[in-house]
């Protein structure tokens, strides 16, 4: 090896030494941050998973949320490490942001339904088996997925509702409370005895074991209509018994009102002819 080659080798070694002095601490620090960051991400993911289990989050949603949090945290760690070693991340982040905005605009409806599904599965305004009225449809919840909710109507039709509008619109959940009130409106003819009406309703209520004693039922005169005296009758039942009590009470009134000397009125007009 001649003198010139020795000088070139010395120059290269000096440059390598300078690079090691400049970049060595940064690389070591970045590796340490990467290892610690990934360990912290793992701990946070485990803690988040336990939190979801305690909240009884839907089993189909838990793995997805854990994976989403895990990936986002790892991306943040990698970006931080790359910034420590001197890689300019501003342009990269701007490109990611622009790409995310474009994808978000293209999939706005889908993302809205996805966000709605997450909200429904986390906050649980209804669950599978509940009877609800939402978005102009009424039925029993058959399935709740990330993007849609499936209802079975009482006449066995399948209704698929997107989760986006379902999570932001108004909804009635008939199964949320254990008790429901059944409201009736019965009319008797003018001249019929009101006490006979009350006795008939009290007898019908006493005969039906599905009607609860507490809260007590209510009978009140609600309207003096053109052709009838209208009474409001309200009884309380367990939610599953609602329709059975509703139909049976109407049938009893129709079949047995005459036993109590009561008449079911209908609209009529008296015409007087003068000679």
Per-residue pLDDT tens over the stretch 230-274:
999 999 999 999 999 999 999 999 999 999 999 988 877 778 888
Average confidence (pLDDT) over 6-23: 61
Q: pLDDT tens across 135-150, in order?
A: 999 999 998 888 889 9
Give the pLDDT of residue 193: 94
Give the pLDDT of residue 180: 95
Residue 73 has pLDDT above 90, yes or no: no
Kindly indicate the confidence band of residue 60, based on its pLDDT and cuts at 50, 70 and 90.
low
Extents of the domains making up the chain? 3-106, 125-173, 179-260
- Residue 210's contacts (CB-CB under 8 Å, 6 or more residues apart) are 237, 238, 241, 244, 245
Kindly indicate the confidence band of residue 78, based on its pLDDT and cuts at 50, 70 and 90.
confident
Closest CA to 126 of 70, 174, 84: 174
> Which comes out higher in pLDDT, residue 163 or 49?
163
> Which comes out higher in pLDDT, residue 3 or 200?
200
The reply to whether CATH 1.20.1050.10 applies to domain 125-173 is: no
Average confidence (pLDDT) over 91-112: 64
Whether the bond between 156 and the residue before it is cis, its omega within 30 degrees of 0, is no
Strands 148-152 and 179-188: unpaired
Average confidence (pLDDT) over 2-11: 60
Kindly indicate the confidence band of residue 114, based on its pLDDT and cuts at 50, 70 and 90.
confident
- Which DSSP helix (H) or strand (E) runs through 51? helix 3-54
- Which DSSP helix (H) or strand (E) runs through 263? none
The reply to whether CATH 1.20.120.720 applies to domain 3-106 is: no
Kindly indicate the confidence band of residue 9, based on its pLDDT and cuts at 50, 70 and 90.
low
Residue 157 has pLDDT above 80, yes or no: yes
Helices (H), 55-162: 62-84, 90-106, 108-123
Report for 30-44, 145-159, 161-175, 187-201: range of highest mean pLDDT: 187-201
The architecture in CATH of the region 179-260 reads 2-Layer Sandwich (3.30)
Residue by residue, DSSP assigns 177-236 as SSEEEEEEEEEE-TTS-HHHHHHHHHHHHHH-TTB-SSSPPEEEEEEE-SS-EEEEEEEE
Report the predicted TM-score, pTM, of the whole model to 2 decimal places.
Answer: 0.62
Distances 225 to 7, 188, 265 between C-alpha atoms, Å: 115, 10, 11
Distance CA 98, CA 91 (A): 10
């Amino acid at each position: 090896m001649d003198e010139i080659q020795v000088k070139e080798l010395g120059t290269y070694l000096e440059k390598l030494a300078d690079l090691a002095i400049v970049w060595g601490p940064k690389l070591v620090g970045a590796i340490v941050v990467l290892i610690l960051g990934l360990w912290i991400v793992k701990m946070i993911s485990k803690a988040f998973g336990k939190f979801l289990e305690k909240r009884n989050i839907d089993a189909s949603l838990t793995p997805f949320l854990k994976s989403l949090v895990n990936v986002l945290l790892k991306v943040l760690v990698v970006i931080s490490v790359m910034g420590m070693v001197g890689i300019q991340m501003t342009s990269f982040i701007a490109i990611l942001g622009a790409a995310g905005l474009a994808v978000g605009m293209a999939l706005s409806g889908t993302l809205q339904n996805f966000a709605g599904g997450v909200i429904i599965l986390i906050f649980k305004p209804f669950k599978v088996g509940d009877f609800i009225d939402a978005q102009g449809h009424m039925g029993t919840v058959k399935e709740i997925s990330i993007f849609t909710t499936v209802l079975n109507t009482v006449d066995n039709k399948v209704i698929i509702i997107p989760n986006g509008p379902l999570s932001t619109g108004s909804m009635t959940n008939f199964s949320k409370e254990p008790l429901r009130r059944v409201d009736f409106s019965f009319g008797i003819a003018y001249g019929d005895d009101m006490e006979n009406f009350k006795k008939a309703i009290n007898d019908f209520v006493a005969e039906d074991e599905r009607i609860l004693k507490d809260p007590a039922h209510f009978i009140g005169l609600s309207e003096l209509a053109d052709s009838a005296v209208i009474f409001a009758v309200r009884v309380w039942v367990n939610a599953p018994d609602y329709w059975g009590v509703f139909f049976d009470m109407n049938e009893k009134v129709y079949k047995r009102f005459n036993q109590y000397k009561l008449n079911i009125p209908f609209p009529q007009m008296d015409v007087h002819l003068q000679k």
